[in-house]
Amino acid sequence: MKIFVCVSHVPDTTTKVNVAGDGRSLDPAGVKFILNPYDEFAVEEALKLKEKNGGEVIAVSVGADPAKEAIRQALAMGADRGILIKGDKSDAFSVAEMLAATIKANSPEIVLMGKQSIDFDGMEVAPMLSELTGMPSATVVVGLTIEGGKAIAEREVEGGKEKIELSMPCIIAAQKGLNEPRYPSLPNIMKAKQKPIEEVASTASGARTAVVTMTKPEKKRVGKILKVESDAKATAHELAKLLHEEAKLI
Amino acid sequence: MNILVYFEERNGQVRKPSFEAIEAAKSLGATSVSAVIVGANTSAAITDQAKKAGANKIVVVDDARFGEYSSNAAAKAVAEVAKQINADVVIIPATTRGKDLAPRVAVRLEAGYIPDVTQFSTEGGKIVATHPVYAGKANVTMEVTTAKKVFSTRPNLWKASKDGSSEAAVESSSVSFDESDFSDRVKELSLSQGKLDVAEADMIVTGGRGMKGPENWGLIENLAAAFGAATGASRAVVDAGWRPHGEQVGQTGKTVSPSLYVAVAVSGAIQHLAGMSSSKTIVAINKDPNAPIFAVADYGIVGDAFEVLPHLAEEIKKIRAH
C-alpha cells in the first residue's frame, strides 16, 4: 500500500503571537516550530496501515527548507521517505494545487493529513485536494476502517458522529481521537537522519486570496472579580445579580 | 451583488447558522440573496422555514441519492446553482459540514475562499473578511483576489435572519449527477440526545482540572442547565479521560465565541485562552486569584468551585424563573 501523509510545520501551541514588521504575518523571532499536532494522528494512522498492509509511507510537506523538520519528525515516527515541495504555503489553494500535482505523479492508495494546520486554521486543504485529484475525502475523522475496496470514516459533527463510506483511493483528514501517536525512539530519530527527502518545485498557478493585515485581538474586559470571604452563597448571589442587571445575559 | 447562501438541513430542520449567513449576506449590501437547499425529497416543512428567512429566492436541488449526504455531490449542486443564478459571492455557514463543502465549491467556481469569517467590511467596493488564526491569538483581514468569491461564516456572530415580512419564491433547479459524484456517502448519523455542541452554543460552562474528577461533573452540568448552556472541558480534563474530545475548548479543541463563557476551575493555559477569549462575556470561578483566566475575565469569583457552584446554579435558576 502506497500511503501519503501530508505534514506541516507550525508554531508550537505555547507560542505568544507577535505581528511582524510587515503588519500581516507572524514574527518568527523566538518561535519554536513543530510538526502540526493533528498531523501526528495522520502519521500514526499511516504507520498502522503500513503495519497491517505492508507498503510505504511517504511524508510530504510544502514550504521552505525548515519544513524539512516536520518531515524529519514523521520519518522519526516511522515514515520511509519524504518529499518537500518548495513553494509558498501562505495560500491554501496553492498548497492544495502543489500537493495534487505530487499526488497525481505518485498515485498513492490513501492520503492522510491533519484536519487543520494550527497556524492558519482554515480546514481547507483536504476538501480542495479532493476536488483537484478526484479522490473523495472525509474531514474531522476519529475512526477509520478499510475493507472491500472502501474506507469507512467516522467523523465528529456537531452533537454527534457520522459514518462516511468512501471509494478508494481517498483522502482522510484526522481529528484528535483517531489514535494515540507514538513517540519516536532514539534509534528511529537517528535513522530518520539517513532517510531521503526529495525536493520538488512548486506547480502553484497563483494565490486566490491575500492577507491585508494581521492584528492581535484587543478587548476591554469589565474585570469585576469578587472574592468569597465567608459566605459563598452571598458571593454567588452578587455574581448572578451582575450577570442579570449589568451584563443582561440572564 | 448577487449572493448565494447555502442552507444546511439536518433532521428536518434548517440549521441556525444558515439564517445567520443570510444576515451576513445582507450586511455586504447584496442586491439579491438566494438560498440553496440540497437534499432528497425536500419537504414543504423545510422550504417553509427558508421562505421566511429574508432571502429573495429559494432554490431547491433535489435528488433521491442525497438521502445519503455526499459532500462532493453537494459541492457540484451548489456550484451549478451559483453559476445558474450568476452569483458573485457564495456564503456557506462554517459548520462541520460547511467547512468541508465551501472549499470544494470554491475550487469548482475557480474562486478564492476565506474560511471561518468572523467579520466583514467593505472598503472601496472590496470585501475585506476577518479570519482568526493561531486559534484566535491573532486575526487576519483578507481579500479574495478572484472575481467570484466564497466565504464561510462562523456560527453565533450574526443574528439569525427571520424577518418573515415577505415570502421568497421557491424554485427547483435541475442539476444532473453521475454515480461518480457520490463517491462519499454519509451512511449513518448518530447524535447524542439533547446535547448542545460547544461550537454552536450561545452559552458555555467549561470545567477544568480543578474539578478533581469525573464524579464531580454533575456540578458543571447543573450550572450549565441553570443557564441553558452547553458544557465544555479543558484539555487536561479531556486528556485525563473525564470528558470526550468533542467538548474540548482550546487550540487543539474547538474555538468558540459564545455570548457567555463560564470557566470553572480552569487555570487558563495560553492554548485554552486562545480558544475562548473571543467570547462576548467571560466569567471565571477559581480558587487561585493568580490564575491567568482572571486576566481575560469580565466577572469572576475567587473561591472554591465546590462551594460556589451549587449556590450560583440556584441563584441563576431563581432569576430565570422570574
CA of A171 vs chain B CAs: smallest distance (Å): 11
The vertex-B133 CA angle with B130 and B135, nearest 5°, equals 125
CA of B264 vs chain A CAs: smallest distance (Å): 13
CA of B95 vs chain A CAs: smallest distance (Å): 8
Say yes or no: B132 contacts chain A, CB-CB below 8 A: yes
3-state secondary structure B50-113: HHCCCCCEEEEEECHHHHCCCHHHHHHHHHHHHHHCCCCEEEEECCHHHHHHHHHHHHHHCCEE
Q: What is the pLDDT of residue B97?
A: 97
Q: What is the pLDDT of residue B124?
A: 84
As given in the structure block, the three cell numbers for residue B247 are 467538548
Q: What is the pLDDT of residue B165?
A: 64
Report pLDDT digits (tens) over A140-169: 999 999 999 999 999 999 989 999 999 999
Say if the Cβ atoms of B255 and A15 lie within 8 Å: no
Of B103, B145, B184, the CB nearest to A164: B184
Provide the pLDDT confidence category of residue A93 given band limits of 50, 70 and 90: very high
Mean pLDDT for chain A overall: 96
- Are A204 and A90 in contact by the 8 Å Cβ rule? The answer is no
Element (H, E) at A131: helix A125-133
Q: Tell me the domain boundaries of chain A.
A: 2-201, 219-250
* The CATH fold of domain A2-201: Rossmann fold (3.40.50)
Say if the Cβ atoms of A223 and B185 lie within 8 Å: no
Say if the Cβ atoms of A130 and B319 lie within 8 Å: no
Of A15, A164, A237, the CB nearest to B185: A164
Q: What is the pLDDT of residue B163?
A: 66
Domain B2-182: what homologous superfamily? Answer: HUPs (3.40.50.620)
Say yes or no: B112 contacts chain A, CB-CB below 8 A: yes
Domain with CATH 3.40.50.620 in chain B: 2-182
Which residue intervals of chain B are DSSP H helices? Answer: 16-27, 44-51, 71-84, 96-109, 217-227, 235-239, 270-276, 305-321
pLDDT lower than 70: segments of chain B: 163-165, 194
* The CATH fold of domain B203-321: Rossmann fold (3.40.50)
Higher-confidence residue of B277 and A197: namely: A197
Say if the Cβ atoms of A247 and B111 lie within 8 Å: no
Report pLDDT digits (tens) over A26-49: 999 999 999 999 999 999 999 999
Say yes or no: B278 contacts chain A, CB-CB below 8 A: yes
Domain with CATH 3.40.50.1220 in chain B: 203-321
CA of B166 vs chain A CAs: smallest distance (Å): 31
